[in-house]
């Protein structure tokens, strides 16, 4: 079991190199997610990282791109329904 966990952990760390190519925000979010998972557990860590990502996206869309909250929610729901939506 220990060998499997070491191998999996090593593959996750090596995966950060691929995330680094996506930009600074992706790297910060991946590192924060890893720390939260380490400290809190898999479910809580991923849930908090997802919530933070959603909050950052909302702030950027609302304050920088001047998109109203109703439109942001509508586009997210359209995206999850398979009709396109927010990038």
Q: Model pTM?
A: 0.69
pLDDT digits (tens, 9 = 90+) for 47-74: 999 999 999 999 999 999 899 999 988 8
Instruction: Give the model's pLDDT for residue 86.
Output: 53
Which tokens in the block code for residue 16?
């950060």
Instruction: Give the model's pLDDT for residue 6.
Output: 85
Main-chain phi, psi angles of 3, to 5 degrees: -65, -40
How far is the CA of 24 from the CAs of 17, 18, 37, 84, in angstroms? Answer: 12, 12, 20, 26
Q: How many angstroms separate the CA atoms of 35 and 69, rounded? A: 30
Mean pLDDT, all residues of the chain: 86
Within the chain, how many helices (H) and strands (E) appear? 4, 0
């Amino acid at each position: 079991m220990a060998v499997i966990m070491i191998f999996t952990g090593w593959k996750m760390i090596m995966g950060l190199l691929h995330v680094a190519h996506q930009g600074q925000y992706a790297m910060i979010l991946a590192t924060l997610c890893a720390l939260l998972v380490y400290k809190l557990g898999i479910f809580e860590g991923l849930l908090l990282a997802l919530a933070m990502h959603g909050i950052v996206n909302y702030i950027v869309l609302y304050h920088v791109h001047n998109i109203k909250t109703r439109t942001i929610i509508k586009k997210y729901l359209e995206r999850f329904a398979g009709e396109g939506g927010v990038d």
